[in-house]
Amino acid sequence: MTLLRRVRDGYLRTYGEMPEGVAFVPGRVNLIGEHVDYNDGLVLPMPISAGTAVAWGRGDAPGVEAVALDLDEERDSFGPGDATPHQPVDWRSYLRGTAAAMAGQGLHASGARLAIAGSIPRGSGLSSSASVCVAIARALAEAGGVQASAETLALAAQSAEHNWAGVRCGIMDQMAVAAGEPGCALLLDCADMSHRNLPLPDDWAVMIVQSGVRRGLVDGHYNRRREDCEAAAKALGLSSLRHADAEAIARANLDPVVTRRAAHVVEEISRVAQAASAIEQRDLTRLGDLMRASHASLRDQFEVSEAHVDRLVDLLGHAIGSEGGARMTGGGFGGAVVAVMPSSQTNRVRARIEEDYAPPSGAPLEIMIEQTGRVLAGECE
């Protein structure tokens, strides 16, 4: 059963009528540019085929009713302005936080019924929470009969992460799923949210492999990395590390750990700019080199990788060779690995990984392949 059919049927089962509409928002994989969005840097994510669907209809009473179809059909409801943070953090935190953020921007749904379902593995590093929040925001806007820009939806979703889930994320994930186009990488400047979609060559493929190590960001790792970056910027007298350079960091006599964090950010922002140029020049070899350098920096300087992820990156790198590359993707501490390669090589690479890698949990190996050739060049502009 398709995701859209599943969410429509779930809405009918819950509310006794068909929905008025369905909002779908994809997940995202970040090709390069990790842990730089909250430093006002450049990032290069792309939307994927998996995502979140929210079926919506207008309710008879003010407020929001919702059902999480993937979580034993748990229910939640609250009136206008009545939502309070749910503890411990779960799907209701994202629902309530997004609804509060939309209302705070004057985008009230007078009454909305929602049914939520998704196809992104939670904890995979493919931005399931951003997809959920933006899909909820889009459904609430549609139920309220208002048009909301990608930036508005993204900011509402980010507010839910910050203020209701306790993750001080940047804006990359939310903008990637709100403004990205299929078959394209989104070059996003997180300082001002300016962006443009770059069509990927139609003979390239993006492979996403789950390490089998489920990651978590709310346990403090992510927030501590952000604090290190903020400490570096403050010591340098800057508003963010976007304005730093390697020489200034070396001269600043920072704590060694903070120095490594800052060096990663400065180098990673430069790698993103070079990667965008490599895509436009169809230079897969150069893009692969940049992805390998990014992973090494995340492993050694930012220290957010993990042994199984490192092994999977190495296996993919050897299988792909020089024409393409692989790196961890997402916040780190587990999750997924992303690789870019010629589409003609996907079957061979997949077979090698299936032979050489087994998730430590014993679960089946999960591999997704995003074929860029399904989108004609120009559709992304």
**Which residues participate in catalysis according to the annotation?**
173
How far apart (Å, rounded) are the C-alpha atoms in residues 42 and 191?
8
Q: In degrees rounded to 5, what are phi and psi of residue 331?
A: -70, -20
Distant-in-sequence, close-in-space partners of 247: CB < 8 Å, separation ≥ 6: none
Give me the torsion for CA of 353, 356, 359, 364, rounded to 10°.
Answer: 60
Residue identified by tokens 């997004």 is 98
Q: At what angle do helices 128-143 and 150-160 cross, to 10 degrees?
A: 120
Cα dihedral 120, 122, 123, 127 sign = positive
Query: Could you tell me if 34 and 48 are in contact, meaning their C-beta atoms sit under 8 angstroms apart?
Result: no
The angle subtended at Cα 171 by Cα 205 and Cα 163, nearest 5°, is: 135
Distant-in-sequence, close-in-space partners of 12: CB < 8 Å, separation ≥ 6: 18, 19
Tokens (6 digits) for 122? 């939670």
